[in-house]
Structure 1
Amino acid sequence: MSVNIENRGSRAAVIGLGSMGFGMAQSMKRAGLDVTGYDITQAVVERFVAEGGRGAQALADAVEGADIIVSVVVNAAQTEAVLFGPEGIARAMEPGAVFVSSATMDPAIARSLAERLEALGLHYLDAPISGGAAKAAKGELTIMASGTPEAFAAARPALDAMAAKVYELGDAAGIGAAFKMINQLLAGVHIAAACEAISFAAKQGLDLEKVYEVITASAGNSWMFENRIPHVLAGDYTPLSAIEIFVKDLGIVQDMARAERYPVPLVAAALQMYLAASGAGMGRDDDSSLARLYAQLSGAELPGKNKEPNKS
């Protein structure tokens, strides 16, 4: 989705130019924002510059003059380091600027980060994302956001450029994070179920291409089955979404549930499979690698199942 931003003078910074952040930066640039990108990997910064963006060598340089800072790092610890670490940007941000936090994290941590930043007179928008790298590059993400009206207003040019759907879920940080954890609960369990099913089909000696055709036209289908099982059929576990992401995210869900004395047996079972896959050397491989783990445990034959885990 390409959006023309009326305020074409808006300056934005993107912290973290990974598979999601790079596409989000491209979408903002395409919509008319003046975008500076920063990443610890210099090569991706150079790539962004080559495609018409600005690049920064340091965090403080990235946010200089920026109205909107979009943080697309891995987790809460990295988000805290970006804001308040030794090279943190909180003291370097422009007065009235908004920090848009896209990392998946415990809602309590999102609330804490927001309180610390707002104490400095700055805005914090809790804005986890969903949709994958392809939708990030097209500006078609789903954003589950919460924050003050002022934070939403300040972030609006970036939100309009990056997302097909922006859900405004409340006026306080933490609500968006909680919505994202419900999504991750379902996503992680659905991937595990899809991988269990396709490996079980292989153990039965079924034609896996036909299994995919039948299930995607039947009631047992899910978005994750439809999206992830083609990776298994191709025997290609190049990481589009890595096993370690769900080790982290389902771990957060389990911690949240334990604090609330709420049972999550399906999450617990799925988390054990992600942990086992990581322990087997597949942590950096695509999360559809759970099918390989099932195959190894059962002797089922999958396309390319004997390929070495990704060690890069």
Structure 2
Amino acid sequence: MKKVGVIGLGDMGSGLARNLVKAGFETAGFDLREDRLAALSEMGGRPAASPATVAKTSDAVFVMVLNGQQAKDVVFGADGLVSGFKPGSTVILTATIKPSEAREIADGLKKHDIHLIDAPVSGGYPGAQAGTLTMMAAGAPEVLDVHQPILEAVGEKIFRVGANAGDGQTVKACLQALIGSIFTATFEAAVLGAKSGISGQVLYDVFSASGAGNNITRNAYGKILDRAFVGTGSHIGTMYKDLTITMDHAREFGVPMFTTAAAMQLFQSGITRFPGEDNWAVTKILEEIVGATVTR
């Protein structure tokens, strides 16, 4: 039985750990917060004192942190993974970071004979907790083959998107461009309807039944109608961070991203006005501008 670790036990990482334990993997974990370590113990995992301690007892370790600098610190910093791993071990990078940062981490790991699977995820808090994430996995085919059962423990749809570090993050950056744009188009359409005197439920029903119907729109519009702007597992800071990654990557390759740029600026306004709330809070910015509220 493979021994697995998870670094970062927040909304996403706790779901990874829970499903790894459920699948029968001996699971160690580390987080800076004591309450999250206690929660890991309660679910059957083994809390550790540092990333290095996790690495010493693991064949593969998921890294689920907020950004690229945190990922680098976890892997290469004092008491980082590389100081505990044995040669041939694997980092599974499920955090969403810049593609260039994933390549930097992979290059650094090669010096220690450690593999990298670049595998950002989509599905948010519900998907992480239910084990139904979509994973965009990039890595050497033989490494992916060995770790397929581990990936299947936390993901429902696992796409092999490339052989090189950064390929997974690039696919995620493209995906977030689309998701972010759908979000903001939904927010704008909802507020236009409200200002025009159309009930939110009517628009929701029509959108859902039309060719524009999709899970992203239905979920977002439903949260707006419920006025559920906090604690839905989709914090505005995460989407804003992801959109900045998309725009940075596009700038690197000289690709104009008109719609994504507008979405990012809407999320910028949202995170400035409602920093502790979730994605749907952007709608309140538009509501304030026009003096209308989206209701059923």
Write the distance in 2 (CA, Å) between the matches of 1:247 and 1:133: 16
Q: What CA deviation, in whole Å up to 9, does each residue of 1:22-54 have, x standing for no partner? A: 111111111110001211111011012112221
Matches within 5 A, 1:163-178: 163-178=155-170
Deviation at 1:151, TM superposition (A): 2.7
Q: What CA deviation, in whole Å up to 9, does each residue of 1:53-95 have, x standing for no partner? A: 2111322222222001001111111111111123322121122
Q: How many residues were matched structurally? A: 295
Indicate conservation of the 8 Å contact 2:229/2:281, yes or no: yes
Write the distance in 1 (CA, Å) between the matches of 2:123 and 2:246: 20
> Is the partner of 2:92 in helix, strand or coil?
strand
| Aligned counterpart, 2:94 | 102
Write the distance in 1 (CA, Å) between the matches of 2:117 and 2:92: 5
Write the distance in 2 (CA, Å) between the matches of 1:295 and 1:237: 14
Matches within 5 A, 1:78-227: 78-227=70-219
Tell me which protein shows more helix as a share of its residues: 2
Write the distance in 2 (CA, Å) between the matches of 1:133 and 1:301: 27
Deviation at 1:210, TM superposition (A): 2.0
| Aligned counterpart, 1:77 | 69
Q: 1:250 aligns with which of 220, 243, 251?
A: 243
Letter matched to residue 236 of structure 2? I
| Aligned counterpart, 1:27 | 19
| Aligned counterpart, 1:308 | none
Deviation at 1:221, TM superposition (A): 2.3
| Aligned counterpart, 2:282 | 290
Q: 1:260 aligns with which of 253, 258, 268?
A: 253
Deviation at 1:16, TM superposition (A): 0.8
Letter matched to residue 223 of structure 1? N
Indicate conservation of the 8 Å contact 2:3/2:60, yes or no: yes
Indicate conservation of the 8 Å contact 1:67/1:154, yes or no: no
Indicate conservation of the 8 Å contact 2:191/2:294, yes or no: yes
Q: What CA deviation, in whole Å up to 9, does each residue of 1:200-246 have, x standing for no partner? A: 11111211122211211112323221111111111111242111122
RMSD of the alignment, in Å?
1.6
| Aligned counterpart, 1:3 | none
> Is the partner of 2:82 in helix, strand or coil?
coil
Letter matched to residue 85 of structure 1? G
Q: What CA deviation, in whole Å up to 9, does each residue of 1:241-290 have, x standing for no partner? A: 1111222111111112122221111111111111111111x123110111
Write the distance in 2 (CA, Å) between the matches of 1:283 and 1:155: 37
| Aligned counterpart, 1:241 | 234
Deviation at 1:303, TM superposition (A): 4.9
> Is the partner of 1:273 in helix, strand or coil?
helix
Letter matched to residue 249 of structure 1? D
Letter matched to residue 28 of structure 2? T
> Is the partner of 1:230 in helix, strand or coil?
helix
> Is the partner of 2:153 in helix, strand or coil?
helix
Write the distance in 1 (CA, Å) between the matches of 2:215 and 2:130: 19
For structure 1, which segment, 145-154 or 241-250, has the greater mean C-alpha deviation from structure 2 after superposition?
145-154
Write the distance in 1 (CA, Å) between the matches of 2:29 and 2:152: 18
Indicate conservation of the 8 Å contact 1:16/1:73, yes or no: yes
> Is the partner of 2:162 in helix, strand or coil?
coil
Q: 2:270 aligns with which of 274, 277, 280?
A: 277
| Aligned counterpart, 2:60 | 68
Indicate conservation of the 8 Å contact 1:144/1:180, yes or no: yes
Write the distance in 1 (CA, Å) between the matches of 2:213 and 2:152: 32
Letter matched to residue 134 of structure 2? T
Gaps of 5+ in 1: 1-8, 305-312
Letter matched to residue 25 of structure 1? A
Q: Runs (4+) of structure 1 moved beyond 4 Å? A: none
Write the distance in 2 (CA, Å) between the matches of 1:140 and 1:247: 23
| Overall identity of the aligned pairs, in % | 31
